[in-house]
Structures are given as C-alpha cells and as structure tokens.
Amino acid sequence: MTDLRIAIVGFGKIARDQHVGAIAAVPGATLAAVASRNASLPELPHFATVEELLEKGPPIDAVSLCTPPQVRRAQAATALAAGKHVMLEKPPGTGVAELDPLIAMARDAKRTLFATWHSRYAPAVEPARAWLASRRIKSVHINWKEDVRVWHPGQAWIWEPGGLGVFDPGINALSILTRILPRPVFVTAAELDFPANCQAPIAADLKLTDIGGLAITAEFDFRQTGPQSWDIVAETDQGQMTLSRGGRIMAIDGKVVADAPDQEYRELYRRFVKLAVTGASDVDLAPLRLVADAFLLGRRNIVEPFVD
C-alpha cells in the first residue's frame, strides 16, 4: 500500500508543534504540502489556500485542516468535493448541524471524514475507562485551567463567535469525559464569564449529569497562572480515580497506575491512515454537543476586558 499523501491546511502553532512530527513518525503517512496564508515549511510545496493547493499542488490523498474552526466547514466541503480524505482538528466546527452535510458528502464519495479528539488518545484514558466500567461512580469533577497567553498567544480568532474561548481547551476535557463514562451525559446548568470586549467566554462552570443522576461538575478557566491544571477526578465505591496532565497520568487513591509518554497525535494519524484504506468515517459529536448546550443553557456574566 502506498503512503497516504497529506497536506496540512493552516500552519499555526498546533500544526508546527504536533502535526508535522506526528505525520513523520507514522508509517503509511507522508506530508506532501502545506496551505497557509502566513507560513510555510522549507522544502515542501506551499500554497495560500486549499483551493490553490487542489488546483496547482502536487498529488495528494488527504488534507488535515488545522485552520480556525470558523472556516473549516467550507474547506472540508471543498476537499471532499475534490475526492480527498479529510481530518478535522478539534473542534470539528463552529456548530453541530454544519457537520451533517459533510458526513453525507464523505459517505457518498466513499471518503474519510475524521473529527479528531486528540485528548482521547492520551495514554491513561483507556485504562481509566476500563477501571470505571466495573465501579459505581458517585461523582466526577473536572478542573481544567490554563493560561491563554501561554497556549494561544495572539490568536484573536479564539475570542470571536465560533472560536469557543475557554471551551477550546475545555472541549478536550469533555472529549475524555464522554469516552471514559459508561453512559451519555448532558448539561443541566452553566455559568459563562465573557470579557467585556470578547464574544467567547474566558471561564465557565458547568453542571452535568447522566440518566441515572450522576453528579458531574466542571471548572474551566483561561486565566490560570503558574502551574496549569488538566485534571478529572472520579469518586467511586472502590476509591478515587484521578486523571491528570490531560489524561497522561492515572492514579487510584493517589497511587499512579498508568503513566506513559504523550503520543496523542501519532495515534490520530495512525487512525486516519487506517480509516482512509476503506474510506470509513469517524465523527463523534458528543463533546461539541455539550459545548453547544452550555452556550444554550449558560448564564452570561460580563467580566473585565481581556488584553493579550
């Protein structure tokens, strides 16, 4: 089987830090081109837009869309119409309904549409899922707080409509939550803090539950300084399970039982290569639905303006 020839569309921090190295490390995947208005990679063909890439670029089989979510739907539709497989960075879009036409396009064209949730591939997530499956879960708390100036410097799009604000990292926690819990969950209440000069929240507190009434709370904050927090704690009838470092480390009653190096993006591309062999798609919208419901149900509080 020949390698899956992939073009990265949108060449910002996440593409440089994660996607390039992951593609290079995965057998069966080759980085063939870059499409970006503002950045390029030495020795690779470069184009300003996905349209120019498809018209003038080298032969490719797939695109990996790392652009801001506000423009991904149109780019994905263009790529699918050209017969390419499509990987979507998270979140897959700015709304839930806009994914349905893309799913139908991919199905009709027998091409892969892969909506990625990289945090689900953190090394301790599957051990946590397996451990919780045989326990009675009493409560779950998410503490997901980071410094936006460190992780999203100068990225104005994140504060615009569809940029998600603090839910850009927060959706990572929700992607893990919806993977490790045995039953679907839904939002019951939310408090959203919007800076006076922004269209997306800088902090959020959520209450969620499942059909059995499980108590789930989540705290998201973009204003954290010093140590960063990416933790999920589940209280069960057989002890406390803690996922920390964004799903990298799992501990039971404080004792570490799973810890491994981060290979999240390599696992994404292994999955993408495998899906593309048959043209199958993988589009789980559960985390995005929770964020959408948080906006629907959320009480909006105006806080001090944000200055990057």
How confident is the model over 141-166, as pLDDT tens digits?
A: 999 999 999 999 989 999 999 999 99
**Domain ranges (residues) in the chain:** 4-115, 122-262+292-303
Question: What integer pLDDT is reported at residue 38 of this predicted model?
Answer: 86
Nearest to 112 by CA among 41, 43, 150, 64: 64
Nearest to 87 by CA among 192, 37, 14, 143: 14
Summarize pLDDT for 20-54 with one digit per residue, the tens: 999 999 999 999 999 998 888 888 999 999 999 99
Question: What integer pLDDT is reported at residue 111 of this predicted model?
Answer: 98
Please identify every residue annotated as catalytic: 90
Instruction: Write down the pTM of the prediction.
Output: 0.96
Question: What integer pLDDT is reported at residue 1 of this predicted model?
Answer: 61
In angstroms, how far is CA 166 from the centroid of its own chain?
13
Exposure of 68 by Cβ count < 10 A (0-12 exposed, 13-18 middle, 19+ buried)?
buried
Structure tokens at 119: 């945090």
Q: Distance of CA 207 to CAs 136, 187, 188, Å?
A: 19, 6, 6
178 touches 288 (CB < 8 A): no
Q: 4-115 — its CATH code?
A: 3.40.50.720
Question: What integer pLDDT is reported at residue 182 of this predicted model?
Answer: 96
Residues with pLDDT less than 50, the chain: none
Superfamily of domain 122-262+292-303: Dihydrodipicolinate Reductase; domain 2 (3.30.360.10)
State the Cα–Cα distance between residues 199 and 269, nearest whole angstrom: 33
